[in-house]
Structure 1
Amino acid sequence: MKDDRFALKERCAGFTLIEMAVVMFIISLLILIILPNIGKQRDNARGIGNQALGDVVQTQADLYRNETDKENISLEDLKNSGYLNEKQYSEAKKAKIEVQAENEE
């Protein structure tokens, strides 16, 4: 009798093929649901970041305009005068952000 119990325990110790297939199906379903949302969230975050960078550029342009009384301001002017750092300048160029004139607000 003792030998039969040990044999039964050894057979029940692992997972069946059906159980593994169900687990793999659930994992693949979750991946199919999550992956498209990650792409949308990345695009949404990029848009919000570009909007915030545009606000920073416009604020710095207004400060530069107030200090220099210059009307036509470019991103290069802001970078050369220290109002934008190199990273802000390159990101603004990549996002095609332009400085608005003072009366366009």
Structure 2
Amino acid sequence: MVKNNKGFTLIEMLIVLFIISVLLILTIPNVIKHNSFVDDTGCEAYVDLVQSQVQLYKLEVGSYPSELDELVDDYIPSATCPDESELLLNNGRVTVANED
């Protein structure tokens, strides 16, 4: 009778599963920890985008918009950041409402 030695043993499979679980345990907390960083960066990027759209509006119309709602739909999707922070417009400068 010929033995078939192809394949993995139960011990080898358990070792591989252990290594994968250790890697997941190490990486998941790091990913979760950086969620606030991603939200802050996303808001900063959105402020830059809205600021450029305010400048485009000024080039097309000749003056700054009086409020950001004038830009919604035609220039920007909304007047809030992805993290729901409200944006303000003051003399053509866009800022976040709850900035410290």
**TM-score normalised by structure 2 residue count:** 0.61
Bigger proportion of residues as helix? 1
RMSD: 3.3
Larger relative contact order (C-alpha < 8 A, sep ≥ 6)? 1
What residue number does 1:39 align with? 32
Alignment of 1:43-54 (within 5 A): 43-54=36-47
Give the percent of matched residue pairs that are identical in Structure 1 and Structure 2: 29
Distance in 1, matches of 2:35 and 2:93, equals: 34
Distance in 2, matches of 1:74 and 1:100, equals: 8
Unaligned 5+ segments in structure 2 are: 96-100
What residue number does 2:98 align with? none
> How far 1:57 sits from its partner (Å)?
1.6
Bigger proportion of residues as strand? 2
Give the total of aligned pairs. 92
What residue number does 1:97 align with? 87
Unaligned 5+ segments in structure 1 are: none
**TM-score normalised by structure 1 residue count:** 0.59
Contact 1:58 1:99 in 2 (8 A): no
Distance in 1, matches of 2:86 and 2:94, equals: 18
> How far 1:75 sits from its partner (Å)?
1.6
